[in-house]
Structure 1
Amino acid sequence: MKIIKTFIEGVVIIEPRLFKDERGYFFESFNQVEFEEKVCKTRFVQDNESKSSYGVIRGLHFQKPPFAQSKLVRVVKGAVLDVAVDIRKGSPTFGQHVAVELTEENHRQFFIPRGFAHGFSVLTEEVIFQYKCDNFYAPQCEGAIAWGDSDLGINWKIPAGTVILSEKDKVHPNLRNCECFFNYSEILY
């Protein structure tokens, strides 16, 4: 796997080695030993999959301690713009984000560490999205910030009039009004 570092430490893009021939392709989508050597030491405990249509934005979500989660995400079908926002108080990149296009063609994966809010917008007619989590889902620890927070400056690549949101995602606070549960100096792993 090839690791592409971003300007925010710990947030990385992963490109698998793809083997193609006349039959199609093969790639290793995850290897625990290589991941721990190249990205970070964590153990994934839950795999999730979602299906969404064009215009859907999911996010920006996180889980509060003690159930904070890292995510390793990828697209199986279609294309998304995937976003990680630094919500660690005291971080030199607090409130900044990394956005990456994940597609069924580029096979890229995106690692979002603990202490970040995560979301994605659906750029194609349909998307099948998979993600690994290193902590179990805990509804009592859900947290989120508004996807449209103008202070974040995220270009979701979706016209505003076509955005489709869940009822929950319509009412999240902006980052400046959100209680941040992560401190940059705190060790999260």
Structure 2
Amino acid sequence: MVVSLKAADVIHSFWVPNLHGKKDMLPGLDSTIEFRADQPGAYRGQCAQFCGAEHALMAMLVVADAPARYAAWSAHQATPAAANALTDAATQHGRDVFEGSTCASCHTVQGTTAHGSLGPDLTHLMSRQSIAAGVLANTPGNLASWIHDPQAVKPGTLMPRVALSDTDLQALVLWLGTLQ
């Protein structure tokens, strides 16, 4: 597997100990790392370069699957968010909150008007095991806490606090929960 690596702000070091050595990521220089998993499984990685206040909270999980299973996952990841997920007014309101707030300025969700590039692509957010770079399990409650006050969860993160009413936050989390 070849993975493209980028650092926007400071030096980071991509490290998945059970798969390969470390690879430094320098701001402004794109690089790649090649690794191979001999067995299917989940392999934990970590930024191995002290890169700021949130350094210890920069985990990653590399999931190695059999080729056919990986091909199915990859094909699904290339599809836009399911439009049929807008089954009720609350879910539609959640999408409207997302598209009408700063969320859409930083994040992309394929199949919507959101095409930001600063934050992660959220098209299939709920297929992930964790959020906030491995800090929290990906649950509706944790997602609401993360959106409500990212600094309380991960001090130093670049994600700003988004001022939303309780109703808007609930609807947003409900809609994000449809992004399989």
Q: Normalised by the size of structure 2, how large is the TM-score?
A: 0.27
State which structure, 1 or 2, has the greater radius of gyration over its C-alpha atoms: 2
More strand by share: 1
Q: Normalised by the size of structure 1, how large is the TM-score?
A: 0.27
More helix by share: 2
